[in-house]
Chain A
């Protein structure tokens, strides 16, 4: 992620320091791993409230992958209570998930898949209908309010692959691993001024 942001020419720091987070102009909240241990370490470092406080300032926040799931209220993974910044659950893909032609689908959902844009957003400008993004996940966000779903993706079921509200946007895929469309999304985020 840091390499992609550098490549785009934006200054950044990687930090778990609460003070530095509060002073940032915008934050990217990526993550890999499991929800349970991620929430434990966020709480341990006091980052749970640091991130919530930052979100409340109105400055831009980008969640990625596990970061996106942590923004929700609750995750089925390790039955974890999450930050609750966007109301909704994080659910596991069903084990017996099948494609339209009845082929059994593998879990995790790993590889390139497309996005159906549900709601226009400055961070999604320039993203075209058939652009694909790189995914690696076994759980997906399911916001209570459908207005929080900015984009959806189909993998046996349709799920929210881009969610957002006010100054927060979050993707289930990895823009930093998604070639040109991913880089343009990151670039849009780095210059986005939410009103």
Chain B
């Protein structure tokens, strides 16, 4: 059977990670290629790069980074942030990424999902969703609304309806981020994750809120997530990926143990 995936997420600005990996002895790695290599060797099942470079002119720095990552790690990795067209997708995929992740560009232009899926296959297109709990209403029947611009702009779109629409348009996977849980380290938004995952037929990566190994176990079982995105809990050396996998295995969750 499929293993549940553990996916570290690296935020990158102009080719450098915004947070390095801190080790217990206070040494650190800040280069995204080295960080990716470190996590690859530590048993990460996939890696997500999120480009927060503000200026479009500096995008080529990111592409160069993607190429160097692809020469050094041999597991799938995806790139998100700033991808707004099929041409942007092509550049990133040709540089060696397995998948591209689109978020606000897809909300503003849903046709981008179908065009990307047609050009490169559904498996290449990850829909990133930023979601906030707003309570049920006639416009938002699930009680969860799509937000963009880091949670600042409410779109008046129901998260569940959007997930289903994106799947029908050809998204191959959903990376589901709860803006409410993000940064709290209090655990993933289990209700939201379960709601989306049980109602789509594509894999769901849970994002936002991971602070302890128990949170991963919860979201991968009662949250029905197919994969768990993690960031600070491993970047600061609080936990290692092998620690997490040993723990999840002890909880009866199937994870990849040999690498």
Check A32 against B1 for contact (C-beta < 8 Å): no
A107 contact set on B, CB distance < 8 A: 201
Given A32-B123, A177-B98, A178-B74, residue A111 in contact with residue B3 (CB < 8 A): yes
Seen from chain A, the residues whose Cβ lies within 8 Å of a Cβ on chain B are: 3-4, 6-7, 32-33, 99-100, 104, 106-113, 128, 130-132, 134, 136, 154-155, 176-183
Q: Which A residues are CB-close (under 8 A) to B5?
A: 111-112
Q: Which residues in B have some Cβ–Cβ distance to A below 8 Å?
A: 1-3, 5, 40, 45, 70-72, 74-76, 96, 98, 121-123, 172-173, 201-203, 226-227, 256-259
Question: What is the bound-complex CA distance between A178 and B76, given in angstroms?
Answer: 8
Residues of B within 8 A of A113 (CB): 1-3
CA A108 – CA B172 in complex, angstroms?
A: 8
Contacts of A99 in B (CB 8 A): 1
Cα A111 to Cα B75 with chains together (Å) = 10
Query: Which of A32, A132, A176 is in CB contact (< 8 Å) with B121?
Result: A32
Q: Which residue of B lies closest to A6 (CB)?
A: B71
Main secondary structure of the interface of B (DSSP, over half): loop
Q: What chain A residues lie within 8 Å of B172 (beta carbons)?
A: 108, 110
Residues of B within 8 A of A112 (CB): 2-3, 5, 45, 256
Assembly CA distance A118 to B1 (angstroms) = 17
Closest Cβ of chain A: how far from B36's Cβ, in Å? 13
- Since A110-B173, A177-B98, A179-B74 are in contact, a sample of 4 more A-B pairs with Cβ atoms closer than 8 Å, ordered by chain A residue number, is A112-B5, A132-B256, A134-B75, A178-B75
What residues of chain B lie closer than 8 Å to A100, measured between beta carbons?
1
Residue of B nearest to A137 (CB): B123
> Which residues of the partner chain B approach A32 to less than 8 Å between Cβ atoms?
121, 123
A3-B96, A32-B123 are known contacts. Are A176 and B74 too (CB-CB below 8 A)?
A: yes
Cross-chain pairs A/B with CB under 8 angstroms, 24 sampled: A3-B71, A4-B74, A6-B71, A7-B71, A32-B123, A104-B201, A106-B203, A106-B226, A108-B123, A110-B123, A110-B173, A111-B2, A111-B5, A112-B2, A112-B45, A112-B256, A113-B3, A130-B257, A136-B123, A155-B1, A176-B74, A179-B40, A179-B74, A180-B259
With a 10 A CB-CB cut-off, give which of B2, B121, B123, B201 has the most chain A CB atoms: B2
Contact status A7-B3, CB under 8 Å: no
B203–A110 contact, CB under 8 A?
Answer: yes
Q: Roughly how many angstroms separate A181 CA and B256 CA in the complex, as a whole number?
A: 12
Inter-chain contacts of A7 with B (CB < 8 A): 71-72, 74
Complex Cα distance, B123 from A32, in Å, reads 9
CB-based contact B2/A155 at 8 Å: yes
Closest 9 CB pairs between A and B?
A: A112-B3, A111-B2, A136-B123, A112-B256, A132-B256, A179-B259, A177-B76, A131-B258, A3-B71
Contacts of B76 in A (CB 8 A): 134, 177
**Could you say which residues of chain A place their CB within 8 Å of the CB of B257?**
130
Question: Which single residue of chain B is at the shortest CB-CB distance from A133?
Answer: B256
Evaluate contact between B121 and A33: CB separation under 8 angstroms: yes
A89 CB to closest chain B CB (Å) equals 22
Chain B residue at minimal CB-CB distance from A34: B121
Residue of B nearest to A113 (CB): B2
Chain B contacts of A183 at CB under 8 A? 74
List of A residues within 8 angstroms of B203 by Cβ: 106, 110-111
Contacts of B2 in A (CB 8 A): 109-113, 155
Tell me the bound Cα distance from A181 to B75 in angstroms. 11
A107 to B256, CA, bound (A): 20
CB proximity of B238 to chain A, nearest CB, Å = 24
When C-beta atoms are compared, the residue in chain B nearest to A186 turns out to be B74
